A and B are shown apart, each in its own frame.
Chain A
Amino acid sequence: MGLLEVKDVGKRFGGLQALSDVNLSVQENTVHAIIGPNGAGKSTLLNCLIGKLIPDTGSVTFQGQSVLGRKPHEINQMGISRIFQTPEIFGDLTVLENVLIPCFAKRDGSFRMHAFETVEAEKDLNEKAVAMLEDVNMQDKLQMQASSLSRGDKRRLEMAMSLVQDPKLLLLDEPTAGMARADTNSTIDLLKEIKEKRDITMAIIEHDMHVVFSLAERITVLAQGTPLVEDTPDNIRDHPKVREAYLGETQQT
């Protein structure tokens, strides 16, 4: 059984059947990509995975526990971390504080009234946060205000914020959308580096083929709300149905 199991999920918006009979299993320690042309239901599926939408039918389980109907912070506490399309960070806070906050969340749970401690006194967490920032090569920017970082650094910081919590599953929502080719490549390198350094499961929702084929070990192709095929990248590339539904179109544009 996989880490994340999606079973018979269906979702309807008015007259539009956005998802129907979606079955998907993300295996531990793999990079699993979900691809598909615009309107295939990728975002709807992702929103079902993170609890933002509740599907009409079917179930989504993570390590055997249902994630449906849970609040975002509960899903995070279960071990699912999410990376957004545009980097979401705490812009007013320093880089170090940005990474300290997830450290506190991991250790103390979703709420704790630690009003009489000081942030500096938490030696362990500070060391952990600094070590994490060293991992993503940001150790010289600890005291910078996060909103003044470059876009690439913001992405790195966001990764650090997720990874410092040691999530079991990293959900990436089009991590390279709207990026220049150079930025896309550096994001790919960053993700590869992360994958090499630690055992982590990633689910990537993406429509950039370059990103998908550089990273994924397993690919699910979504078309019109249903999975068309699920296979390894090599097989997907040569699959006639996929070529017809998706890849052919992309290569022309």
Chain B
Amino acid sequence: MLGLNQRDTKFLLIVIALTLFTPILLQPFPADSGLAQFNAGYPDLMQRFAIFGIFAIGFNILFGLTGYLSFGHAAFLGVGSYSTVWMFKLLNYNVLPGLVLAIIVSGLFALLIGYVSLRRSGIYFSILTLAFAQMSFNLAYSVLTPITNGETGLQVYNDDPQILMGENGITTTHFFGLKMNASHIMDVGPWQFTFNFGYYFCAVIAILAFYLSLRIFRSPFGMMLRAVKSNQQRMNYTGLSSRPYTLAAFVISGMYAGLAGGLLASMDPLAGAERMQWTASGEVVLMTILGGAGTMMGPILGAGFIKYFENIFSKINDQVLHGWFAFLPDGLENALVWLLHPFVGKGWHLTLGILFMLVVVFLPGGLVELGQRIRNMFRKKPKADNDGSHKPQQTPHVAE
């Protein structure tokens, strides 16, 4: 179906089903129960899952296939956001022109950065992309203030032209009249599910992005990109010029990042320079490696995992901990809370860091490898699986 073989079609259908039922799947605990804070099925977070999923899928096309580690992908995310907000300012709150412009502008930007950076490989490539991203970040704060609105962040003001707005135009972001913040809340017994239009909009785009990347992975073009990672010298002596292949991969992944940035601005019409900072670039590297670089599912899992931690784990504070351990004697309760305190709340980075180290050391193939191992444990007889892409491939050295 759709140019995919049977196995990939099944894979795609599973992904579609999971995406569509996310508002239910992420809401496993009743609304009033003590565990309700672990529910992740609220619109803001679900939108982030989908958006950062797109970002990571795009990053994986570059890093997972060609092995070129870009440390400046957040620059494209920022460029995408700015482009979209500018469309809101100039036209109206319809997200479509903004998203199209975000993809085009970030693609052009990626072409420029890629053309220069791809002259080097390995660590030098990473440093070059990092330098470009930091440059963009600092420019956005200083000389480019007329375009980026500096520290305040770019947002829509009442005196903006908004030439397509008309008299009673919609004043929040929308897709041909369908508002992004429109939600339908459904109560099933003690459970509460929120179906948000913004999430489904992002989810449909994420599915399209996933399908596109699946096609690229299975295409001759994808095979060539894997050849770049495997042995670039051999590739050149086979009559192929590796530079245009890597540049194409770089531009495609830049466009994915731009789309993700545009969607971020579409959900919340505000763009700040901090979106381009190197920590944001590092985050997508973490997502991809944590989930499993070079696999289809890995980056999405990684993105979900990190965003879940960022939003849920960080909300656990001492009071919540005291609540959990209230049944213990006071001394023991205080000791436990004291022990766990650095790992939760504001300390969620510590937990994430430890988990990241554990994954890199024990599961070089990321979370996907964990899933595979569990599956093999239950099957006893591991099935010979030669399709390279679903299988965690050996994670390349970070400098590769």
Contacts and interface: CB of A to CB of B under 8 A. Distances in A.
Given A111-B240, A144-B386, A88 B218 contact: no
A76 B234 CA distance: 11
B218 A118 contact: yes
Contacts of B234: 88-90
Of the candidates B226, B236, B240, the one having the most CB atoms from chain A within 10 angstroms of its own CB is: B240
Contacts of A206: none
A75 to B, nearest CB: 8
Interface stretch (A40-48, A95-103, A192-200): A95-103
A104 B227 CA distance: 12
A93 B226 contact: yes
A90 B227 CA distance: 6
Contacts of A106: 239
A88 B236 contact: no
Contacts of A72: 236-237
Given A92-B230, A120-B5, A114 B220 contact: yes
A169 to B, nearest CB: 13
B145 interface: no
A238 interface: no
Contact of A116 (B215, B237, B388): B215
Contacts of A250: none
Interface stretch (B21-29, B182-190, B241-249, B369-377): B241-249
Contacts of B248: 113
Contacts of B226: 90, 92-93, 97
Contacts of A112: 220-221
Interface in B239-263: 239-241, 244-245, 248
Nearest to A111: B244
Nearest to A161: B238
B222 to A, nearest CB: 7
Interface of B: 3, 5, 215-216, 218-224, 226-227, 229-231, 233-241, 244-245, 248, 386, 388, 393-394
29 contacts: A71-B241, A73-B236, A73-B237, A81-B237, A88-B233, A89-B234, A90-B226, A90-B234, A91-B231, A92-B388, A93-B223, A93-B388, A94-B386, A97-B223, A101-B235, A101-B240, A104-B220, A105-B240, A109-B239, A110-B239, A110-B241, A112-B220, A112-B221, A115-B221, A116-B219, A118-B3, A118-B5, A118-B218, A119-B219
Given A100-B223, A101-B223, 19 more contacts: A71-B241, A72-B237, A73-B239, A73-B240, A76-B237, A88-B231, A90-B226, A90-B230, A91-B230, A93-B226, A93-B388, A94-B388, A104-B220, A105-B239, A105-B240, A115-B219, A118-B219, A143-B386, A145-B386
Interface of A: 50, 71-73, 76-77, 81-82, 84, 88-94, 97, 100-102, 104-106, 109-120, 122, 143-145, 161, 165
